[in-house]
Amino acid sequence: MTVPTNRFPDDFVWGCATSAYQIEGSPLADGAGMNVWHRFSHTRGRVVNDENGDIACDHYRRYESDIELMKQLGLQAYRFSIAWSRILPEGTGRVNPAGLGFYERLVDRLLEKGIQPTATLFHWDLPVALDDRGGWLNRDIAGWFADYAESVFRRFDDRIKLWATLNEPWVVSDNGYLHGTAAPGHRSLFEAPIATHNLMRAHGAAVQAYRATGRHQIGLVVNIEPKYPASTSSEDVAATRRAEAQMNRQFIEPAMLGRYPEELRDVFGEAWPDWPASDVEQIRQPIDFIGLNYYTRAVVRNDPGAWPLRAAPVRQSQVAHTEMGWEVFPQGLTDTLLWIKDRYGAPPIYVTENGAAFADPATAAGDVLDDPRRVEYFRTHIRAVHDAMRAGVDVRGYFAWSMLDNFEWALGYSKRFGIIHVDYATQKRTPKASATFYSGVIASNGAVL
Ligand SMILES: OC[C@@H]1[C@@H](O)[C@H](O)[C@@H](O)c2[nH]c(CCc3ccccc3)c[n+]21
């Protein structure tokens, strides 16, 4: 693959990404079952300002005008997630035709507008009915997930050609079961490894199900935050390896190499089981691509008091940070793309999420002052992708996070990642300068960088 010096290959795909619970609203409409983020966000004290996704961007009802905006941007593809509990209100068994109907309308409208739909089966919004049966702690969930996957493959594989099983299993295991900062809000050293393992077993089962009938591509989306040691001391280097294993290799390694990083026993101790080899073999199903979500890097030091990693980030001074407190470090994206290529056999990669939160207040006149730092963030990170491609990494596409300002999980609506501003009181959409910039990138296939 020859990569032109000043633009991207002709078949490179440019898109935007969102997820169901963050933008749709109407979480219980038309027979949908309750999902764990509905229950979590309605539990006092879990989300900033006790905000929730009851309305969000009202995309469930405004999807046609939102797709019009995507068309105006010149998007070639759109990454969204399917809400499991709309399709199977109890998580298994009865299919809800109205739930399928929403995604049918969404997909058909996208195709009408010449925009490629790419779907993630699970972006954290587990049906409550399954959480009440143990959720990711119940080994049966691999079968439940495969059945759900089959019901949507059967319906949409003629129109959706790029599938992802899970979005960021690390966040579900680490935030949802280890630290309790995300749904279902558990805090347990013993539960997190079980959640990890069942998430990955479910991934494997869904890929196996896809191979039986699917005719296109399926992969796994992981968040990778490259870890750089704060010093060359053996303590800091060891701490960095623990942090890297726990976030960056805990999921991609079983999926791609059929083994868990040995550092995980050092992190979890007796709480890390000896998984049956047959389980890990089943997890290692050949996949067609890796979806990489990249935002920032971490500089890591040894910290004996930091549970359970015994590692802590070191904030970098005198450099740009986003509203999330994340360092702006585009080199980390190049480094990560090269790391995946070198370590996991040069798989095709889509950058499935990359973006930045900055405060973008709307002025009284209704204009939106898009922070110029967001344009710079996209410019430098898209350049970083190009650098990796010039160095031989097989990157197939880039999805900006996010198309719309949306519900930022436990941070509610306090963080704005959108290239399109949403006034939540009026639901008015206003493209930001970053939308105009990204539109130019797409139109010129990266030549404007
Ligand atoms: O935080 C911005 C986005 C979320 O809105 C997406 O739903 C999620 O896929 C996503 N992942 C990451 C990086 C991993 C991460 C998630 C949550 C907290 C800290 C890091 C950033 N984001």
What is the Å distance from ligand 1's center to 332 Cα? 16
| 353 carries an active-site annotation | yes
Catalytic residue among 24, 168, 323, 408: 168
Residues with CB under 6 A from ligand 1: 19, 22, 167-168, 171, 223, 293, 295, 353, 401, 408, 417
Tens digit of each residue's pLDDT (9 = 90 or more) over 68-118: 999 999 999 999 999 999 999 999 999 999 999 999 999 999 999 999 999
pLDDT per position as a tens digit, 298-320: 999 999 999 999 999 999 999 99
pLDDT digits (tens, 9 = 90+) for 220-253: 999 999 999 999 999 999 999 999 999 999 999 9
CB 28 within 8 A of CB 92: no
32 vs 82, 94, 211, CA distance in Å?
Answer: 12, 11, 28
- Structure token pair of residue 296: 């920032």
DSSP 43: S
Exposure string over 122-148, b if 16+ CB within 10 A, otherwise e:
bbbbbbbbbbebebbbeeebbebbbbb
Which amino acid makes up residue 50? Answer: D
Predicted confidence band at 14 (pLDDT cuts at 50, 70, 90)? very high
Does the annotation mark 281 as catalytic? no
| Structure tokens that stand for 144 in this block | 């439940």
Describe the crossing of helices 433-443 and 372-390 by its angle, rounded to 10 degrees.
30
- Name which residue sits closest to atom 14 of ligand 1, judged by CA: 223
Mean pLDDT, residues 128-146 taken together: 98
Beta bridge partner(s), residue 13: 397
Q: Provide the 10 A C-beta neighbour count for residue 7.
A: 16
The answer to whether residues 83 and 32 touch, using CB atoms and an 8 Å cutoff, is yes
Cα 212 to averaged position of ligand 1 atoms, centre (Å)? 32
Give, for ligand 1, the residue of 168, 327, 333, 381 to mutate: max count of ligand atoms closer than 8 Å to Cβ: 168
Rounded average pLDDT over 367-385: 91
Tokens at residue 31, please? 């027979």
Angstrom distances, CA of residue 18 to CA of 33, 279, 422: 21, 31, 14
Does the pLDDT at position 161 exceed 80?
A: yes
If you measure from the C-alpha of residue 101 to the centroid of ligand 1, how many angstroms do you get, rounded to a whole number?
28
For 172-227, write each residue's pLDDT tens digit: 999 999 999 999 999 999 999 999 999 999 999 999 999 999 999 999 999 999 99
Nearest atom in ligand 1 to 170's CA:
14
Percent of the chain with pLDDT over 90: 96
**Residue 330 CA, distance from chain mean position:** 18
Amino acid of residue 54: D
| Helix-strand-coil split of the chain, %, nearest 5 | 45, 15, 40
Report the predicted TM-score, pTM, of the whole model to 2 decimal places. Answer: 0.98
**Which atom number of ligand 1 is nearest to the Cα of residue 411?**
1
- 298-302, strands of its sheet edge to edge: 227-229, 298-302, 311-313
Ligand 1 mutation pick, 409, 413, 422, max ligand atoms within 8 A of CB: 409
The confidence score (pLDDT) of residue 370 equals: 76
Q: How far is the CA of 295 from the centre of ligand 1 (A)?
A: 8
- Could you tell me the pLDDT band of residue 364, with boundaries at 50, 70 and 90? confident
Rounded to the nearest angstrom, the distance between the alpha carbon of 80 and the centre of ligand 1 is 14
Q: Is the pLDDT of residue 361 over 80?
A: no
To test the ligand 1 pocket, which listed residue (121, 124, 353, 402) has its Cβ within 8 A of the most ligand atoms? 353
pLDDT of residue 103: 99
Query: Which of residues 59 and 364 earns the better pLDDT score?
Result: 59
Residues in CB range of 2: below 8 A, 6 or more apart: 9
Cβ pair 354, 299 in contact under 8 A: no
CA-nearest residue, atom 1 of ligand 1:
408
pLDDT digits (tens, 9 = 90+) for 397-433: 999 999 999 999 999 999 999 999 999 999 999 999 9
